[in-house]
Amino acid sequence: MLQAGTKAPDFSLPDQSGKEVKLSDFLGKRVVLYFYPKDNTPGCTRQACAFAGNYEAFRAQDVVVIGISKDSIASHLKFAEKYDLPFILLSDPERQAIEAYDVWKEKKLYGKVSMGVVRSTYLINPEGIIEKAMPRVKPDTNAAEILAYLQKEDA
């Protein structure tokens, strides 16, 4: 996991409509970059819906929300449409950003070891520096934790 104070690695990945998006496109804004394992799975759906439910609060603070997984553009489009997700979902099948942000890790499930995306979130400041790194986040509370942090910062 990259640490707070580190320059956020730039990347260029397609969103759910196939448009290339670069992290550097958002310099001057705070960015919530959340990495998740897979579209349409229970935890990932709850996490995405929590971000969607809090989306206006993020927008009110001029914060961009971006979700990244290995899923295809088509999978992201279906996921976004099914749950009315108003934010950017980026497709990273080659693990360009996933590996740059050090979230591709060994995981254990029921004693079986495999490699996969560890659910992690980064808050990137307007200068492109990682402000907060959150490893192994909980899908149900991740969005609210970031909002609480942002509101505390603004107080």
Contact 139, 11 (CB under 8 A): no
Coil, strand or helix at 78: helix
Give residue 155's pLDDT band: very low, low, confident or very high (50, 70, 90).
Answer: low
Question: Which amino acid, residue 126?
Answer: P
Tens digit of pLDDT for each residue in 60-106?
Answer: 999 999 999 999 999 999 999 999 999 999 999 999 999 999 999 99
pTM of the model: 0.95
Distance CA 40, CA 37 (A): 10
Catalytic residues: 44
d(CA 81, CA 121) in angstroms, rounded, equals 23
Rounded to an integer, what is the distance from CA 13 to the centroid of its chain? 13
Sorted by where each starts, the structural domains of the chain and their CATH numbers stand as 12-154 (3.40.30.10)
Q: d(Cα 31, Cα 38) in Å, to the nearest integer? A: 21
pLDDT at residue 125, rounded to an integer: 97
Among residues 65, 72, 86, 75, the alpha carbon closest in space to that of 147 is found at: 65
pLDDT in tens, 13-62: 999 999 999 999 999 999 999 999 999 999 999 999 999 999 999 999 99
Structure tokens at 53: 């439910």
Distances (CA, A) of 54 to 18, 51, 112: 25, 5, 35
